[in-house]
């Protein structure tokens, strides 16, 4: 089963990256390693299914938390961009077969927004679990939130299933370019 093409995946990744850059610019966040990592995280996972529809609610939820606490938005930009790791739950709830279209389109983004809103305090407090020895703090936070979300969905009778879409064809032109790039001799500096 083919869902999309390489071109559509690249366009989606480009649009999602531009959304991340837009929020970096609008909040006047200084560029740092975590900001670049968060933006590239969006780019990479946009090739695997994240899209503008499902990344916006968590981002807006994190910024709503910042506004609610009267704090600078730039402080929360890396967390907002990393919160997109939970974005597939927005699409999962939106397109769940048990909801009619209107309920799904309303409920999916609302749940994504709520998850984005609780992401900063969870991320801030899980540092005490690993005593600051993990730089994957936001990922750990999303794992906890995702586990809780899966448990709540199961509690309400929504079966949480995973879908594995495997590519069934190979574009040998891309493989040959990748192989050539990887096997070219390199000169040490």
pLDDT at 68 over 90: yes
**C-alpha–C-alpha distance, residues 144 and 137, integer Å:** 11
How many CB atoms sit inside 10 A of residue 94's CB? 21
Q: Is the pLDDT of residue 26 over 70?
A: yes
Give the tens place of pLDDT for each residue, 50-66: 899 999 999 999 999 99
Segment (H or E) for 117: helix 101-125
Contact (CB, 8 A) for 129 and 140 = yes
Q: What is the reported pLDDT for 134?
A: 64
User: What does the pLDDT read at residue 97?
Assistant: 77
The pLDDT, as a whole number, for residue 1 is 45
- 3-state SS, residue 32: coil
Q: How far from 93 is each of 48, 51, 83, 141, 176, CA to CA, in Å?
A: 18, 15, 17, 20, 39
Over its C-alpha atoms, the chain yields an Rg (Å, rounded) of 19
**Chain segment 124-157, per-residue pLDDT in tens:** 888 888 776 666 788 889 999 999 999 998 898 8
Higher pLDDT, 147 or 175: 147
Give the mean model confidence (pLDDT) for residues 152-178. 71
């Amino acid at each position: 089963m083919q869902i999309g093409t390489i071109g559509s995946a690249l366009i989606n990744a480009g649009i999602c990256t531009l959304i991340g850059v837009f929020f970096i610019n609008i909040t006047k966040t200084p560029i740092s390693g975590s900001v670049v990592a968060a933006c590239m995280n969006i780019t990479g996972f946009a090739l695997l299914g994240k899209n503008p529809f499902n990344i916006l609610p968590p981002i807006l939820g994190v910024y709503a938390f910042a506004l609610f606490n009267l704090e600078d938005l730039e402080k929360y930009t890396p967390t907002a961009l990393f919160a997109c790791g939970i974005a597939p739950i927005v699409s999962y709830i939106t397109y769940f077969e048990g909801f009619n279209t209107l309920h799904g389109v309303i409920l999916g983004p609302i749940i994504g927004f709520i998850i984005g809103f609780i992401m900063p305090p969870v991320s801030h407090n899980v540092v005490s679990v690993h005593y600051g020895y993990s730089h994957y703090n936001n990922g750990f936070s999303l794992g906890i939130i995702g586990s809780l979300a899966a448990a709540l969905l199961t509690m309400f009778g929504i079966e949480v299933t995973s879908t594995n879409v495997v590519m069934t064809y190979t574009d040998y032109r891309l493989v040959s370019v990748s192989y050539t790039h990887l096997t070219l001799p390199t000169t040490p500096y």
